[in-house]
Amino acid sequence: MDVVGVKKRLGVFTSGGDAPGMNAAVRAVVRAALNQDLEVYAIYEGYQGMVEGGERIRKMDWDSVGGILARGGTIIGTARCLEFQTREGRRQAARNLVEYGIEALVAIGGDGSLTGATILHREWPELLAELVENGEIGQEMAVKHAHLALVGLPASIDNDLYGSDMTIGTDTALHRIAEAADAISSTASSHQRTFIIEVMGRNCGYLALMGGLATGADWVMIPEKPPAGEHWEEQMCQVLKAGRDSGRRDTIVMVAEGARDAQGNPIRSDDIKKVLEERLGEDARVTILGHVQRGGSPSAFDRNLSTLLGYAAVAEVLADDPSPEPVLMGLRGNRITRTPLSYCVENSRKIAAAIASGDYPQAMALRGDTFGEIFHTFSTLMQATPPNCKPDTPPPIDKPLRIAVLTCGAAASGMNTAVRAAVRLGIDKCHTMLGVENGFRGLIEGHIRELDWVSVRGWATTGGSSLGTSRKIPKGRDLYDIARRIEKHDIHALLIIGGWSGYQAAYQLYNQRENFPAFNIPIICIPATINNNLPGSEYSIGSDTALNNIIQAVDKIKQSAVASNRCFVVKVMGRYCGYLALLSGMATGAEQVYLHEDGVTLSNLQHDLDYLINSFERGKRLGLIICNENAHPVYNSDFISALFAEEGKKLFQVRQAVLGHLQQGGDPSPFDRIQATRLAAKAIDFLIAEADKHSPAAAAIGLQGSQVQFWNLSELPVQMDTDHQRPKHQWWWELRDIASNLSHHTPHL
């Protein structure tokens, strides 16, 4: 591909429906390519621009993609192109790519867009031959451009592409759905109304299912799993009526736009409204969210996902042994993966075909195990009463357990979601669920009460902890008091939701089993802290909400700063863990991020100050520095602000922003709600399985890659840097170079 003296040229385009995060992907591709000394061309208006050529194909520089991380949609445009669907149109597109010397393409789009890209790649040799035959290009030019490298990035709010757990835009769409449903729920409750909320997704029920789970909806309709039997109306009305009879003031039905019954007939929002009005006498309203799900600023998750995928796409193009076939860069678990693009497109089409043919088990299977597990969990949680264990009836199990639930450490959004899921799933299995108020302090003092199905209603969407928390770590006499409380309340298992103090407390109980036989019960910890500083889990409940709180605040700060040539130093939480600082820095495009893990030196500060001064001298109007709260005991955010203000005062002003506890507050993000529910379900199953063992385990649960895994609490000292309260291995550490490379232009010469 290389020609002496000529830089390799890469084209990037967005196609199909716009998705929040596309701009972040374009930015990552452009800047990563420039740092590798490639020339980059943006193809405006997708395939339409590829066919038209001319001004639609423009060379990009570093500043071309400045300030676009927070913008929704796509700055380079997208459009339908009927011409590209013809052989003649694709031949014209190939001619334009050759004319601009573009040797590699990064296609950002959904199923249809990536299908078009695979067709172009497959036909490429033939198209070049036709162009030579028609005299439009010479044979030498055809030989020079004989190979077209192609990398696809999945961008679709529907999350309907095989090959990636999440597609660009999906998380933001879930944010829009949750915000709308949370708002609708309050007005529905005021008037005791039923709302039917229709969400996008075509043949994919991901948005409806996850949106329903995240918002505590009372019924969900998805294409992959229609209600069984011929009379879906009766099933729905039975569940919703039971909810009303139990005292519920509002009813939310979440329906995917492609929902259908078991016979394949479409189920529309108006059909559901009519059924509820006629059969239950409900005052029903329909809200079709429509394109509001596509719009607005992308979430933290989508900004970072797009950034990592775009960066990986350029690395794929430059690989020493590039794949001869197009690949899709996707997300599996928490790692970027590469999968043959044709394979992904083929399997995506299989799901749609299975739904169209009525093979719903196959459709569910192709969506993956996690999709099926979450559907099963939601089917339990949405019930008005426990479906498998009715009150005042003998339990169908030999030994019902009494499981105590408590929240520990600083409050984290998603704690309530986890408690609600654990309580309802435990009760559904005919066990008694006990709520401990104020963490281990409440357990010591005996503040314990039984929680029933209704008592946790509404907890799915609220931040903080309704049970209350404390950082109390039991020791000495406390251990004796806890043992007495466990015996008095006949507690058979303990579920701890919280941060580092909760893990330490659980470890104490585990280590004291020989002295206190009462502690010989199954114990499990669910990670819940905004700091994301716990071992054995790549994400802690609450950290995603905190990241979104940070980027929303920083976006506003940047708008203020750009108006008057300012540099902001933003101090974020995290204690000695730099997760929030680094990930928020990457999501907001910060010039520099200071972490305790890296350390801060005067030479670092001088280098960064020189960079800022040079940038403002060239016309820059905004500077952004993110600083972890414990980055350095001396060179802290106050010192950095004062230093930069003094040295840069002729060019820019410096302001410091301490975000404080707004990072902990607010309703949990959809990601935190979904993960809290998923971990709680697994935790309850674990406690039940361990309860009959002679020496039950004390463990922690967490997300590792795409799997939920358990690990024994005896390993805590081995896994944890206790002096700095962070894991010895932190997966996100490897992202430092990516964040730095995309904020500083350092081409390889």
Give the catalytic positions in this structure: 158
Distance CA 646, CA 644 (A): 6
Distance CA 225, CA 98 (A): 47
Rounded-to-10 torsion of CA 74, 80, 86, 87 = -10
CA distances from 124 to 13, 95, 96, 142 (A): 18, 10, 13, 10
| Tokens (6 digits) for 285 | 């309203």
Q: Which residues have a Cβ under 8 Å from the Cβ of 527 and sit 6 or more positions away?
A: 499, 534, 536, 537, 539, 540, 541, 679, 700, 701, 702
| CB contact at 8 A, 208 and 159 | no
| CB contact at 8 A, 26 and 71 | no
SS3 451: strand
CA distances from 660 to 66, 546, 597, 678 (A): 28, 11, 21, 29
Which residue has 């007939």 as its token pair? 265
When computed from its CA atoms, the radius of gyration of the chain, rounded to whole angstroms, is 28
Distance CA 530, CA 664 (A): 7
DSSP structure class, residue 518: G
**Among 711, 612, 30, 116, which Cα is nearest to 306's?**
30
34: which strand partners? none
Amino acid at 692: D
198: which strand partners? 255, 288
**Among 604, 656, 603, which Cα is nearest to 625's?**
656
DSSP structure class, residue 694: S
| CB contact at 8 A, 545 and 463 | yes
Distance CA 640, CA 606 (A): 10
| CB contact at 8 A, 375 and 356 | no
Alpha-carbon 88 to chain mean position: 41
Q: What are phi and psi of 256, to 5 degrees?
A: -75, 145
Distance CA 505, CA 439 (A): 10
Other residues' Cβ atoms within 10 Å of the Cβ of residue 599: 11
Alpha-carbon 511 to chain mean position: 36
Backbone dihedral region of 101: left (phi > 0), alpha (psi from -120 to 50 degrees) or beta?
left
Other residues' Cβ atoms within 10 Å of the Cβ of residue 143: 10
Per-state percent for the chain, helix, strand, coil, to nearest 5: 45, 20, 35
Which residue has 């060179």 as its token pair? 635
Other residues' Cβ atoms within 10 Å of the Cβ of residue 64: 18
Q: Which residues have a Cβ under 8 Å from the Cβ of 21 and sit 6 or more positions away?
A: 155, 168, 169, 172, 298, 302, 303, 305, 306
